[in-house]
Amino acid sequence: MSAGDRRAARPHGGPGRCLGHGARALILLLLAAGPGAAAPACREDSAIVQRADGAPIATFSVEIADDAAEREQGLMRRRTLPKGAGMLFVYPSERPVAFWMHDTLIPLDIIFLDGTGRVISVHGNARPLDDTPIPSQGAAQYVLEINGGLAGRLGIGAGSVLSHPAVAAGRAAIPCR
């Protein structure tokens, strides 16, 4: 907590009074908005994965692959991927896509998402250096690659939702704010 935060947290006006009028108004506003009303605060370098009801599952620090050369390179030749990190592949429109693990040295979970950011399929623990195509099982516009086995451990599966600025606000299942 910074010095400014400490000053703001001090009660004013005598014993028993801990919240100012502004803080009380903010709490009432949030309560009136109801559950699920708050959209996640998104950043270009973070992918937020949630359950369909908006309950958070995980936030990943991501690199973006949004052109053909970046998508082709992907995570090839990387010896490690930090925990909580991944790569978000962005396509201009929905289409069936297939990935492979050519020159990819680490096991990955490959999460395919439609144009709204909703997970359509997950291929868990893709084998390193395997050239077998891994299809999307439907039209995908986004693909999130994370460390192998993590999607299963976290409960990321069909119906989970990704929030990220790349997902158009007008189409996003759970839009960013």
Instruction: Mark whether 90 and 18 lie in a shared domain.
Output: no
Q: What is the mean pLDDT of residues 48-58?
A: 97
Tally of structural domains, the chain: 2
pTM: 0.79
Report if residue 11 sits inside a domain: yes
* Total residues belonging to the chain: 177
Give the per-residue pLDDT at 134. 99
pLDDT of residue 41: 86
Question: Which residue segment(s) compose the domain that 12 sits in?
Answer: 3-33
Q: Same structural domain for residues 103 and 146?
A: yes
pLDDT band at 40 (very low <50, low <70, confident <90, very high): confident
Which of 27, 8, 3, 42 is CA-nearest to residue 166? 42
85 and 23 part of one domain: no
The domain that contains 157 carries what CATH number?
A: 2.60.120.1140
Confidence of residue 10 (pLDDT cuts 50, 70, 90): very low
List pLDDT tens digits, range 13-23. Answer: 334 334 444 33
Query: Environment class of residue 157 by beta-carbon count within 10 Å: exposed (0-12), middle (13-18) or buried (19+)?
Result: middle
Sheet holding 56-65, edge to edge: 119-126, 108-113, 134-147, 85-99, 56-65, 46-50, 161-163
105 class by beta-carbon count within 10 Å (0-12 exposed, 13-18 middle, 19+ buried):
middle
In tens, the pLDDT along 102-135 reads: 999 999 999 999 999 999 999 999 999 999 999 9
Structure token digits, residue 42: 């998104």
Q: Is residue 136 domain-shared with residue 67, that is, in the same domain?
A: yes
Same domain, 87 and 7: no
DSSP string, 76-110: TT-S---TTEEEEEEEEEEEEEEE--TT--S-EEE
Q: Are residues 104 and 128 in the same domain?
A: yes
Looking at the structure, tell me whether residues 59 and 110 fall in a common domain.
yes
Are residues 63 and 125 both part of a single domain?
A: yes
